[in-house]
Amino acid sequence: MKYSILGKTGLNVSRIGFGGIPIQQLDQKDANRLIGKSIDLGINFFDTARGYTISENLIGEALEGKRESVYLATKSMARDKEGMKKEIETSLNNLKTEYIDLYQLHNVPSLQELEKVMATGGALEALLEYKEKTMIKHIGITSHSIEVIEKALEYDIFETIQYPYNAIETQAEDIFKRAYENNIGIIVMKPFAGGAITNVNGALKFILEKEYITCAIPGMCSIEQLEENVKAAENPILKEKEREELLKEARELGDTFCRRCGYCQPCPEGINIHMMFILESYYRRYNLQGWAVDRYEKLPSKASNCIKCGLCETKCPYNLPIRTMLESVKDLFE
């Protein structure tokens, strides 16, 4: 395993981290086995979230007696101070730890939401309070919005950013380089484009060959997936033929793959368009049907609310057939 310093946090993390979404599918015995093997293979960075149902609990239990050998990262979508304080306490309890190495503002979708968490009484105040108590060591932010990440780089408080990046979604390259120059740790989520890319080895090498990227956090729920992911870190340089094969697959996916850029928004019917496709991906590719259905049902506006006005398609820079894609989401969930 190769390691890299996670920006100004100073943490020396494995370049392949452990993404905590798919572990929800496992029982505790299998989670213990998978996490134990991850540590044996050199992984020392574990990323989970309050929103990943039992992921924190599984990881916390599996790391008993091993806590000091790893770095724990989690995150919450709480936006106010009191809500975030409750979330932090829950994370500490679930993870069975006295401190969390990296706590992140999770999935901040817009500049308006960023202003809310940064304002007086916002979630950031809770993070700073717990950092003062040393119960949180470092603070980061995650988003699917380039605009939000770009704005976040203006604040000294954020030590890491987490954003999707893969052979299809490369829109963050300039932002990543700027973050690297400012000693901000760069964590890549969705390295396989939500499971759409099947060339696992090539996909990870595509990311890790870029030295300005600190680490990638592929989700995994089996020893086979773990070993395949770790293998990519041994020599993270794509050969020309490997690059051609990967980019060919990326091009073929490009006709119907949402890159979550947000240019299609706002929808006049209030549909969170890219969230439709994220939940579809969790359902079809991550084997998290129950979790995806639960989240879909809680959305205030669903795919069936689409009136097929086509406004979103006029703004999409990738010319995706969004109306047809939303129809597919509706058929899946409704």
Q: Which residues of the chain have pLDDT under 70?
A: none
User: Which tokens is 157 given?
Assistant: 């408080």
Q: What pLDDT does residue 82 have?
A: 98
Q: What pLDDT does residue 256 have?
A: 82
pTM (2 decimals)? 0.88
Q: What pLDDT does residue 196 have?
A: 85
Per DSSP bridges, beta strands 12-14 and 3-5 are: antiparallel
Q: What pLDDT does residue 220 have?
A: 93
Question: At how many degrees (to 10) do helices 223-232 and 200-208 cross?
Answer: 40
Q: Residues with Cβ < 8 Å from 29, sequence gap 6 or more?
A: none
Structural domains in the chain?
3-247 (3.20.20.100), 273-333 (no CATH)
